[in-house]
């Protein structure tokens, strides 16, 4: 049973490493798993009068740390590291009209902190079939430990029996070696990952970016994209297949990209909730909204060359539609026939 526990916990640790969880949380989980192995080794070597009870209590403690305490630590870490300027948000809510991008809390929050918190909390979710079985495995073993302790406490004769081999130095040594190997593996994984990321800039601010490379479509988990140009320079083109794999994207803000004539297809943006297009002087046409079933807010500001709007019928839950300084398109044309008498 102990080797099953360690196997499941190791798989969960590998998933945490794969998800890019902060190093502090990785270290906490690694210490719990390593201490679990070392604690089992000590129980094998040290003499106890109520061996079975001690073994199961130790196992239960570490299972509780994995199943209950670690998620609590993750939530506490997120609360302690996230800083948000609520006073600035209150000012924006009072100054800017409804529907403006400045009213969204995500525009004020530190994007690095936001991403870290999203990743940390997302690691607690059951997001795949494999993840489901590992989480269920932890909970099933925890339930079995509770049953075993209850049976042992109800039957004093079983308290002297043991589950692990006693005085088995080879088994104890193998558990200690496993703990050391796990610590070294995690340390090397985080170190090599940091080295690999070091040459790449963390931000594209003030880089005068005019287009994105073709590999941007590989950012399949991207949820928030904000590209703000300048009055004299900004995006001039985007890859035609840029959004083909970005089904997780929920917010798209393109501002002051005065030379951008067209946008990639929105067909695969099935989770997009808020597109905001501002100061798009060269934008001639919007992509079709056929797949934007979850769209909630739409902002179009200063797009003088835009002469028509896509069909709005696929949108089921639009809460806010804001347009400023409209171009040649009819503001109510999406309702059917354009009615110039209807302001």
**Predicted local distance difference test score (pLDDT) of residue 139:** 85
Domain match, 296 and 213 both: yes
Q: 243-278 burial by CB neighbour count: b if 16+ within 10 A, else e?
A: bebbeebbbbbbbbbbbbeebbebebbebbbbbbbb
At residue 148, does pLDDT exceed 90? no
Query: How many CB atoms lie under 10 A from the CB of residue 98?
Result: 10
At residue 238, does pLDDT exceed 70? yes
Domain match, 126 and 146 both: yes
**Predicted local distance difference test score (pLDDT) of residue 343:** 54
**Predicted local distance difference test score (pLDDT) of residue 204:** 63
Q: For residue range 267-278, list pLDDT tens digits in order.
A: 999 999 989 888
Domain match, 152 and 208 both: no
**Predicted local distance difference test score (pLDDT) of residue 321:** 84
Please state the three-class secondary structure of 44-95 as a single string.
Answer: HHCCCCCHHHHHHHHHHHHHHHHHHHHHHHHHHHHHHHCCCCHHHHHHHHHH
Domain termination site, one of 137, 168, 197: 197
Domain match, 98 and 77 both: yes
At residue 160, does pLDDT exceed 60? no
In angstroms, the CA 337 to CA 217 distance is 37
At residue 207, does pLDDT exceed 80? no
Provide mean pLDDT across the span 229-239: 82
At residue 333, does pLDDT exceed 60? no
At residue 320, does pLDDT exceed 60? yes
**Predicted local distance difference test score (pLDDT) of residue 76:** 92
Closest CA to 312 of 336, 283, 277: 336
Q: 18 or 324: which carries more pLDDT confidence?
A: 18
Domain match, 302 and 166 both: no
Q: For residue range 27-73, list pLDDT tens digits in order.
A: 999 999 999 889 888 887 776 665 667 777 888 888 889 988 999 99
**Predicted local distance difference test score (pLDDT) of residue 96:** 79
**Predicted local distance difference test score (pLDDT) of residue 156:** 61
Segment (H or E) for 300: strand 297-301
307 CB contacts (<8 Å, ≥6 apart)? 284, 327, 328, 329
175 CB contacts (<8 Å, ≥6 apart)? 37, 38, 40, 41, 44
Strand runs labelled E in 121-265: 224-228, 251-255
Q: For residue range 298-313, list pLDDT tens digits in order.
A: 888 888 888 778 888 8
Q: CA 224, 228, 229 angle in degrees (round to 5)?
A: 150
Domain match, 190 and 247 both: no
Segment (H or E) for 132: helix 129-154
Instruction: Kindly write down the DSSP assignment for every residue of 242-256, as one continuous string.
Output: TTTT-TT--EEEEES
Domain match, 225 and 300 both: yes
Domain match, 15 and 160 both: yes
CATH number at residue 243: 3.80.10.10
Q: Do residues 16 and 25 touch, judged by C-beta distance below 8 A?
A: yes
- Containing structural domain, residue 258: 203-343
Domain match, 96 and 207 both: no
pTM for the full model?
0.63
At residue 199, does pLDDT exceed 80? no
In angstroms, the CA 159 to CA 337 distance is 83
**Predicted local distance difference test score (pLDDT) of residue 266:** 93
| Domains in the chain, number | 2
In angstroms, the CA 217 to CA 16 distance is 24
Strands 320-324 and 251-255, by their bridges, are unpaired
Closest CA to 223 of 166, 294, 272, 153: 272
**Predicted local distance difference test score (pLDDT) of residue 181:** 95
Query: How many CB atoms lie under 10 A from the CB of residue 93?
Result: 13
21 pLDDT tier (thresholds 50, 70, 90):
confident
Domain termination site, one of 197, 222, 257: 197
164 pLDDT tier (thresholds 50, 70, 90):
low
Q: Do residues 48 and 158 touch, judged by C-beta distance below 8 A?
A: no
**Predicted local distance difference test score (pLDDT) of residue 269:** 93
Q: For residue range 97-125, list pLDDT tens digits in order.
A: 776 667 777 778 887 788 788 888 888 88
- Of 188-202, 232-246, 269-283, give the lowest mean pLDDT range: 188-202
Domain termination site, one of 143, 168, 197: 197
295 pLDDT tier (thresholds 50, 70, 90):
very high
Q: For residue range 81-91, list pLDDT tens digits in order.
A: 888 888 888 89
3 state DSSP class of 320: strand
């Amino acid at each position: 049973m102990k080797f099953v526990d360690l196997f499941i916990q190791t798989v969960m640790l590998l998933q945490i490493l794969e998800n890019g969880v902060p190093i502090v949380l990785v270290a906490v989980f690694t210490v719990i798993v390593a201490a679990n192995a070392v604690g089992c080794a000590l129980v094998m070597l040290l003499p106890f009068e109520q061996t079975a009870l001690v073994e199961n209590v130790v196992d239960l403690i570490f299972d509780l740390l994995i199943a209950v305490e670690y998620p609590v630590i993750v939530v506490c870490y997120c609360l302690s590291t996230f800083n948000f300027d609520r006073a600035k948000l209150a000012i924006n809510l009072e100054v800017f009209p409804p529907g403006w991008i400045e009213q969204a809390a995500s525009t004020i929050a530190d994007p690095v902190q936001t991403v870290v918190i999203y990743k940390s909390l997302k690691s607690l979710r059951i997001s795949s079939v494999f993840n489901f079985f590992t989480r269920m495995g932890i909970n099933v073993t925890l339930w079995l430990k509770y049953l075993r302790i209850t049976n042992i406490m109800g039957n004093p004769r079983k308290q002297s029996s043991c589950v692990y081999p006693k005085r088995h130095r080879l088994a104890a040594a193998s558990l200690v070696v496993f703990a050391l190997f796990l610590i070294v593996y995690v340390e090397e994984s985080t170190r090599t990952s940091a080295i690999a990321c070091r040459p790449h800039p963390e931000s594209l601010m003030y880089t005068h970016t005019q287009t994105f490379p073709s590999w941007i479509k590989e950012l399949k988990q991207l949820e928030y994209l904000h590209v703000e140009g300048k009055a004299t320079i900004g995006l001039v083109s985007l890859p035609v297949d840029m959004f083909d794999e970005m089904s997780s994207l929920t917010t798209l803000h393109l501002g002051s990209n005065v030379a951008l004539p067209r946008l990639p297809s929105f067909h695969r943006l099935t989770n997009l909730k808020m597109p905001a297009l501002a100061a798009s002087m060269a934008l001639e046409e919007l992509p079709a909204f056929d797949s934007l079933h979850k769209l909630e807010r739409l902002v179009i500001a200063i797009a003088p060359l835009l002469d028509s709007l896509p069909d709005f019928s696929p949108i089921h839950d639009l809460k806010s539609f804001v347009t400023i300084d409209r171009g040649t398109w009819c503001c109510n044309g999406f309702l059917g026939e354009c009615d110039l008498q209807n302001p």
